[in-house]
Amino acid sequence: MKIIIGLGNPTREYEATRHNIGFDAVTRLCDDYNIRMDTRQHKALCGKGYIGGEKVLLVQPQTYMNLSGESVRSAADFYKVEAEDLIVLCDDINLEVGQLRVRPKGSAGGHNGLKNIILHLGTQEFTRIRIGVGEKPEGWDLADYVLGRFTKEENEILRETLGRVSKACEKIIVEGVDSAMNEFNRKKVQ
């Protein structure tokens, strides 16, 4: 079993913000693989299904971003899943809008959701797909930027990007993280 966690903040005020792209990616997985997010457990909204023939649990933590680790740890413990069987989907301000970076492990890189997951799991050894939301403009407050919404042009790019995130998750599950890195970490040609 794999657990795929999309990071974001609950409540309507955060919907469609840069910081909630992980939630949006889970929603796309639901659409692509006919999975319903119909259970509340592990301080999260969850859905069970199959991707690439493997049983998966999709998770949208409802703890707010900086406490995501509580939800992730609860689900991993309940299903007796090792950190290597987790896939975390999150925003990255160091990547251009629409760019993906698949990694089998690594630091939080300043991302509070990842930082809290690492704290609760006691390891950095979990797969993550970082989804580019663009660099913060000069003079902007970081919180204001990541809690802001995408432009119309960025939203068009992200529709295609979320499809690639969905395919990257399946590739990780079926062929492994190295295969997904080779295919999805290439910089997009404009």
Going from the N-terminus, what domains does the chain have, and what CATH number goes with each?
Answer: 2-184 (3.40.50.1470)
pLDDT computed for residue 190 by the predictor? 46
pLDDT computed for residue 100 by the predictor? 97
26 by Cβ neighbours in 10 Å (0-12 / 13-18 / 19+) ranks as: buried
Among residues 19, 42, 111, 120, the one annotated as catalytic is 19
Q: What angle, 0 to 180 degrees and rounded to 10, lies between the N-to-C axes of helices 21-33 and 152-175? A: 60
Q: Are 3 and 78 in contact (CB under 8 A)?
A: no
* Residue 19 annotated among the catalytic residues of the structure: yes
Q: Are 106 and 23 in contact (CB under 8 A)?
A: no
Extract the tokens encoding 22: 């992980």
* pLDDT under 50: residue ranges of the chain: 189-190
Extract the tokens encoding 65: 């971003």
64 by Cβ neighbours in 10 Å (0-12 / 13-18 / 19+) ranks as: middle
Other C-beta atoms closer than 10 Å to the C-beta of 38 total 10
Q: What angle, 0 to 180 degrees and rounded to 10, lies between the N-to-C axes of helices 152-175 and 177-184? A: 150
Residue identified by tokens 């989907």 is 89
Q: Are 56 and 1 in contact (CB under 8 A)?
A: yes
pTM, 2 dp: 0.95
